[in-house]
Chain A
């Protein structure tokens, strides 16, 4: 058994992992936002109306969960508020973006990006960032957020109108992208100037769940490259639960240092495909997390660590970039405790688990390193994905597969005989 490493600050830990080296333990980039309101005992809308409350909430949550970052994300529609949109608050989740602010596509011709200093919501985020920077003195990474120019129109136009624009009106699409790029760079760099150490660039539309790879290469990819090279801090590209394995090479070439990955993908495969090029963070399922027991939380953490943490280049996080309000504090504590227990480098237990798995499977020991991830990932996911896995296996039977699978799934998805 190797010795554990000297303790690092959160900043050292994250930088080491992002540099594809092993720090003292796997960084925990827990990204709670709404829980800060609960921590302070105030309604969600009150919480986000006061930058000092959000700063205090972030500091208290970090003290409680011992994670390795402070997260200045308020809610997604705060950016469209700057463009004239509305946020609709509720008491059990993040505010929803209101009706799309652009109802006539031709209005894009007359649109101009808002100034950051004119947007009260964005000013509140900047004030929270300054308060946190003053409080922590550079020992803890402060992560700001900017919605990608390619993804912001889902809130600006509505999803359907945006897809129509993308396919039917490339002239207006290109103009909107230029405006959004200017806004995104200005907004990201304002956060950096206020003290953010990194920017999380949320781009779910670029995921292969949302647009096909060839369309991504024409659109989201060059936009990401242009924007990321202008942001004056490291960038984490987040697909917000969208899938990225089919485009992993292109995601790695955007200039982003980190990639937020989906729980619907095999973390071991993602790690193999991205090793040494872009670090990963994820991929705990925040929706399922609502009803995890402490034991389930530990299993999920172990599975993720075994799949992606050996060798560095990985941080543990949820897979969406925002922990749902309904997730109990006890689950977040169980995740933190499991990472503290199992995430200490060197991760000898991963090798032991891989060897045990290999012995059971009759695989030569020299092959076990590559098997570690998939074995552990399978173990962690088995209870939730069994139906889907079965369906996937059935698809190897040929062209009749998908319909047969669909029928089998349908049977599992209705209580009516």
Chain B
């Protein structure tokens, strides 16, 4: 990790928005937007997520770090996933990504991952909260390559099994990454429900998505 990325990580963990802004301003003065995201924002957010995974920081810091990055990137570069921000527009061969909360009504996990993905330059369709039937319909219609599924409660995590069965029939090429509290308490659960991968923190999901993308090629 570069000194600048480590400094950004530290600014984010202490919610020091001014310092984070200074670091990003300095970077954007000398680097292309995509390079700023790749070299600073993404490693900083990945480390924050990993720190949380290991008990080194709190979920509120993960959430606020993502929020600050997203706001500052919007301020400095424009919305990184909007077409006007051409330097950061995903390439034509980028996977079609979607994120969803399955059945539960509380959306924090999804919001955190969505924010980190956007701040890392990925365009993600946000499906909000869905049931299995509605979700399969959307995935098929949008021809989603990689679906990120967030769950809060164990019954919803177990419903992924039904989702995987349906997707196996109707969208067999779609890869599914699951995440959320139940998977943090049972290492075997993601395989039990038939998911392709599990992301136990937001920072990890970016790498997993790219790994799945490579595997699909």
Distance A290 CA – B189 CA, assembled complex (angstroms): 10
Could you tell me if B55 and A406 are in contact, using CB atoms closer than 8 angstroms?
no
Distance A98 CA – B184 CA, assembled complex (angstroms): 24
Q: Is the interface of B mostly helix, strand, loop or mixed?
A: helix
Distance A105 CA – B184 CA, assembled complex (angstroms): 31
B18 on interface, CB distance cutoff 8 Å? no
**Nearest-CB distance from B115 to chain A (Å)?**
10
Q: A158-B106, A160-B107 are in contact. Are A167 and B15 (CB under 8 A)?
A: yes
Report chain B residues within 8 Å CB of A326.
154-155, 158
A84 on interface, CB distance cutoff 8 Å? no
B199 on interface, CB distance cutoff 8 Å? yes
Interface-side segment among A6-14, A88-96, A114-122: A88-96
Could you tell me if A406 and B207 are in contact, using CB atoms closer than 8 angstroms?
yes
Q: A288-B186, A402-B51, A415-B197 are in contact. Are A410 and B154 (CB under 8 A)?
A: no
Could you tell me if B107 and A416 are in contact, using CB atoms closer than 8 angstroms?
no
- Out of B6, B104, B177, B185, name the residue touching A96 (CB < 8 Å): B104
Report chain B residues within 8 Å CB of A268.
none
Could you tell me if B208 and A414 are in contact, using CB atoms closer than 8 angstroms?
yes
Contact with A along B45-70 (1 / 0, CB 8 A): 01100111111011111011000000
Distance A288 CA – B186 CA, assembled complex (angstroms): 5
**Nearest-CB distance from A166 to chain B (Å)?**
7
Q: A160-B63, A395-B54 are in contact. Are A402 and B208 (CB under 8 A)?
A: no
Question: Smallest CB-CB separation from A213: which chain B residue?
Answer: B58
Report chain A residues within 8 Å CB of B212.
414, 416
Could you tell me if A406 and B46 are in contact, using CB atoms closer than 8 angstroms?
yes
Question: Smallest CB-CB separation from A417: which chain B residue?
Answer: B215
Number of interface residues of A (CB under 8 A): 54
B108 on interface, CB distance cutoff 8 Å? yes
Report chain B residues within 8 Å CB of A416.
175, 196-197, 211-212, 215-216
Report chain B residues within 8 Å CB of A166.
60
**Residues of B187-217 contacting chain A, CB below 8 A:** 187-191, 196-200, 203-204, 207-208, 211-212, 215-216
Question: Smallest CB-CB separation from A94: which chain B residue?
Answer: B153
Distance A413 CA – B197 CA, assembled complex (angstroms): 5
**Residues of A260-287 contacting chain B, CB below 8 A:** 263-264, 285-287
Could you tell me if B203 and A406 are in contact, using CB atoms closer than 8 angstroms?
yes
Q: A160-B63, A210-B58 are in contact. Are A415 and B47 (CB under 8 A)?
A: no
**Nearest-CB distance from A37 to chain B (Å)?**
14
Distance A215 CA – B184 CA, assembled complex (angstroms): 24
**Nearest-CB distance from B145 to chain A (Å)?**
12
Could you tell me if A415 and B107 are in contact, using CB atoms closer than 8 angstroms?
no
Could you tell me if A413 and B204 are in contact, using CB atoms closer than 8 angstroms?
yes
**Nearest-CB distance from B151 to chain A (Å)?**
11
Contact with B along A135-176 (1 / 0, CB 8 A): 000000000000000000010001110010011000000000
Distance A407 CA – B203 CA, assembled complex (angstroms): 11
Report chain B residues within 8 Å CB of A290.
186
**Nearest-CB distance from B107 to chain A (Å)?**
7
B120 on interface, CB distance cutoff 8 Å? no
Report chain B residues within 8 Å CB of A167.
15, 60, 64
Interface-side segment among A294-302, A329-337, A370-378, A384-392: A384-392
Could you tell me if A159 and B104 are in contact, using CB atoms closer than 8 angstroms?
no
Report chain B residues within 8 Å CB of A395.
54
**Nearest-CB distance from B176 to chain A (Å)?**
11
Could you tell me if A210 and B60 are in contact, using CB atoms closer than 8 angstroms?
yes
**Nearest-CB distance from A357 to chain B (Å)?**
25
**Nearest 3 A/B pairs, CB to CB:** A414-B197, A416-B215, A159-B108
A-B contact pairs, 19 of them (CB 8 A): A93-B154, A98-B105, A160-B107, A160-B108, A163-B60, A167-B15, A211-B59, A243-B55, A246-B55, A395-B54, A403-B50, A406-B46, A407-B207, A409-B53, A410-B204, A410-B208, A413-B204, A415-B191, A415-B196
Extra inter-chain contacts (13) besides given A326-B155, A413-B200, CB under 8 Å: A92-B155, A158-B107, A167-B60, A209-B58, A210-B58, A285-B186, A384-B187, A402-B51, A403-B43, A403-B46, A414-B177, A415-B191, A416-B215
